Homo-oligomer: A and B are copies of this chain.
Amino acid sequence: MIDIVRTVDELRGRVGDWRAQGFRVGLVPTMGALHAGHLSLAERSMQLTDRTVATLFINPKQFGEGEDLESYPRDEASDGEKLRAAGVHLLFAPSVEEMYPDGFMTGVIVGGLGDVLEGTYRPGFFDGVATVVSKLLNQAAADRAFFGEKDYQQLLVIRHMARDLDIPTVIEGVATVRETDGLALSSRNVYLSAEERSAASVLYKTISEVALKVRAGADILNLESWGRDQVLAAGFASVDYLSVRDAFSLEPFTDVSGPGRVLTAAKLGRARLIDNVPV
């Protein structure tokens, strides 16, 4: 069994003991339903620090009306076993009451980066993410915290929030882990039927081809439109966005000499899949 603590006080006690021994501490925030993507975050943390805490908290503030808060996959025992096997030292799994006690009334908002793309389609999502992550960072006081590039906009929002609020933890991005056909690992892939699962890899193939063609100098608006058509033709019900953006500001990609990013979100059956690749 992995060691589990459920209160902020216990977490601080454990991290404080490690600090007193001179250990560097890594934090891996998750909502559970762990897959190899999460475990790659933990592996990176174990490379760069001496002690790794994973957190398991399904944050109600980052689910909107009609989203999948109730049905989000939950299996703490299995998650704990995966983390233990990976060598993670501690699991912090607080209750909703521990994180948001009665009278909780503070929010952290990231304007600009949080308002576009996912922010347009999931109002309040990044406010919920920024709020819970600022709490987790302050609770754990880790040296480094690890987030997947799969949620690329989220990574940028968190990095900016931590910088703006002077939270001293270094935010580390970790490359997306993919199935052999290219589909990005996601806890929500379990929502896909067999047929949908086989169509799903078109998302990654399409944005990869868009990235290649942007590098080759093709017209971006035409490419975005072509990409959306490809995804719809594969059986996706809708494409929220498929867009080439500046890799730091997420503004439209006009300075093609700088780094860009192709980002997409699209609906397939019960699932809403997101993915992104560098340009």
Contact = CB atoms under 8 A, between A and B. Distances in A.
Interface in A71-119: 103-114
Interface stretch (A40-48, A163-171, A196-204): A163-171
A118 to B, nearest CB: 16
A135 interface: yes
A165 B105 contact: no
A53 interface: no
Contact of A138 (B12, B103, B105, B167): B167
Interface string A145-174: 000000000000000110011111000000
Contacts of A141: 168
Interface string A108-135: 1111111000000000000000110011
A138 B110 contact: no
A24 to B, nearest CB: 15
**For A103, A141, A164, which residue has the most chain B Cβ atoms within 10 angstroms?**
A164
A233 B141 CA distance: 54
A8 interface: yes
Contacts of A164: 104-106, 135
Contact of A165 (B138, B160, B166, B168): B138
A190 to B, nearest CB: 32
A225 interface: no
B135 A106 contact: no
Contacts of A193: none
A104 B112 CA distance: 9
A165 B111 contact: no
Interface in A233-248: none
Contacts of A109: 106-109
A12 to B, nearest CB: 8
A139 interface: yes
Contacts of A138: 138, 165-168
B130 A165 contact: no
Contacts of A131: 165
Contacts of A139: 166
Interface of A: 8, 12, 103-114, 130-131, 134-135, 138-139, 141, 160-161, 164-168
Closest 5 CB pairs of A and B: A106-B164, A138-B166, A105-B112, A105-B111, A139-B166
Given A107-B108, A108-B108, 4 more contacts: A103-B160, A105-B113, A138-B165, A138-B167
10 contacts: A8-B166, A103-B160, A104-B164, A105-B110, A105-B112, A106-B165, A131-B165, A138-B166, A138-B168, A139-B166
